[in-house]
A and B are shown apart, each in its own frame.
Chain A
Amino acid sequence: MPPVYPAQLQTRRNTTSYRASQISSSGIRKFFDLLSSMGEVVSLGVGEPDFVTPWHIREAAIYSLGRGDTMYTSNSGLLELRQEVASYLHQAYHLDYDPQVELIITAGVSEGLDLAMRAILDPGDEVILPDPAYVAYPPCILLAGGIPVPIPTRGENQFKLKAADIEARITDRTKAILIGYPSNPTGAVMSREELAQIAKLARKNNIMVVSDEIYAQLVYGIEHSCFASLPGMRENTILLGGFSKAYAMTGWRIGYAAARAEIIQVMTKIHQYTMLCAPIMAQMAAIEALKFGEADVQQMRQEYDRRRRVMVAGLNDIGMACFEPKGAFYTFPAVRGTGLTSEEFAEKLLVEEKVAVVPGTAFGECGEGHVRCCYATSLANIEQALERMSRFVDRHR
């Protein structure tokens, strides 16, 4: 059933679409403008690594450019890259995907997410997702005609998504569950057992799971559990993976999706007409990353881990209660002690102490009472920020 659009919006007088009007441009635009107008800010607001892409990866891309690799690739992406992705997934999770028909190379997980939603959703289909979650999830669902159904998650439960809460929101329109662990913005991870509960629900109700595992390689002291590797879930999962975070390759725009052939075929069809193919330079770089980048990932992960410990200890010390996030590079401390809302906290902190954090509400209603602090920045910056935040919190207690 197509959604019923308000009558006044059905006329051709509107330049832009009703569908596009459903999504808000990020709620913190005002905040962003304020930030851009200020100098000397210590920013914990950045959602990407503070490392430049490892040199050997850049060098491989430069070499391939020099050799003249400047053309389109096959829609699915270079076969060599798909093979490397397949062998990575096999090594990491004993998951076997056929590089010919079960993998597609995308322009980042961002595109993979969009393709996945457009491939599986009909107008009015519901997609269950955690709240708070990565900002792009609801818009991608809406733009594909779906309806986001956010499930509240709480700090007391370390922002884990509970199967029982999902079950209560399943309807006959529920088409998919969209999850992303380790999580942006909370840093939360889910254990294999906890994910298995969700898998059970998905199987029972014949619901697809789209799993954004872009932070899979950035977990600390635990092993990442790949959703598709749960019993019976390979056929029922669209696995999204990327290079942006683990290899510090955000600007390259490269990622991949893995799923059973029927789904990848539809995703490839859409990708063929809307993206054609992922940039070849980025594909070349990604091959190098998968072949020879493990040591870099390890080194950066170790560095993040050290910063993570400093950040978590520091936040708890200054009275911003924060559970220990086991993945990604975010902490999601509570600001309740100050009596300020997330947005007030972030704005005042920026103005008064020149520290940028992201209000939790940017990621969903349940982000209220929290801010996202990213520790992908130098230890000196983290310590500086903590000092200023400590002053701020003391003042507003």
Chain B
Amino acid sequence: MSSSRRLTGAKPFFGIILPLYEERGQGVIKLMKEVFEILERDARTTVGQISTMTGIPLAEVEQAIKKAEEERAIVKYKTVIDWEKLGEEQVWALIEVRIQPQREVGFDAIAGHVYRFPQARSVYLVSGTYELAVLVCGKSMQEIAAFVAQKLAPLEGVQRTVTHFILKRYKEDGEILAEREEVRRLPLTL
């Protein structure tokens, strides 16, 4: 099924894991959702910890996670790393891409061309003055410039690109990188 049709066809878009618990009521759905919220926050939380935190029996947590992995509702487990802190230079750019939709396949064919490049770390179809937002990662500005000039811009159907190099990363995936808000409390209060 093409992704453009998937956006309009409601059922599969809303997933199949949580609706499995529908017959057991909204409370159970909310609880099961917590399993995934906890994992999304910290992928290293163990099944046992999740079971204690939510009060859902261990076997059920295990089963829900397994099913979600199979269905790719859990896409992967990843770690947010500040590479700069590790001493590794990384250059990121947000590239606006204007493309011409094609008969039958709309934007999907060109998007498919773009997202198959490993340099493209995230690819989104967006509304507004351009169509594709592409997040690109490379080792240097030259590398990214070369990718845009040699791979992205010449693609058939691509009308124009605008490259915004990322100068500073303040927040990544909900985590503030710049400074950490410390909680400064007295060690003991009654």
Contact = CB atoms under 8 A, between A and B. Distances in A.
A43 B52 CA distance: 22
B64 interface: no
Interface residues of B, number: 15
Contacts of A92: none
Contacts of A35: 187-188
Nearest to B45: A379
Interface in A356-378: 356, 358, 362-363
B86 interface: no
A45 B55 CA distance: 25
A45 B54 contact: no
B38 interface: yes
B19 to A, nearest CB: 22
B189 A302 contact: no
Contacts of A65: none
Main secondary structure of the interface of B (DSSP, over half): loop
Nearest to B190: A135
A56 interface: no
Contacts of A45: 187-189
Interface string A277-314: 00000000000000000000000001000110110010
A50 interface: yes
B133 to A, nearest CB: 26
- Contact-residue bracket for chain A: 20 to 34
B188 A356 contact: yes
A50 B187 CA distance: 11
Interface string A154-181: 0000000000000000000000000000
A313 B181 CA distance: 30
B186 interface: yes
B34 A46 contact: no
A362 B188 CA distance: 12
Interface in B157-190: 181, 183, 185-190
A358 B53 contact: no
B188 A358 contact: yes
Given A52-B181, A302-B34, A306-B38, A46 B52 contact: no
B16 to A, nearest CB: 25
B186 A309 contact: no
Nearest to B49: A310
Nearest to B186: A46
Contacts of A74: none
A35 B185 CA distance: 13
B189 A52 contact: no
A366 B55 CA distance: 31
B183 A43 contact: no
A313 B52 CA distance: 7
A63 interface: no
Contacts of A46: 185-189
Nearest to B42: A379
Nearest to A380: B42
Contacts of A26: 190
B48 to A, nearest CB: 10
Interface in B33-76: 34, 38, 49, 52-55
A41 to B, nearest CB: 6
Given A45-B188, A47-B189, A306-B38, A52 B183 contact: yes
Interface in B96-145: none
B190 A362 contact: yes
Given A52-B181, A310-B49, A47 B54 contact: no
Given A32-B188, A48-B189, A356-B188, A309 B54 contact: yes
B187 A356 contact: yes
A35 B189 CA distance: 12
Interface of B: 34, 38, 49, 52-55, 181, 183, 185-190
Given A43-B188, A48-B189, 4 more contacts: A41-B187, A46-B189, A47-B190, A356-B187
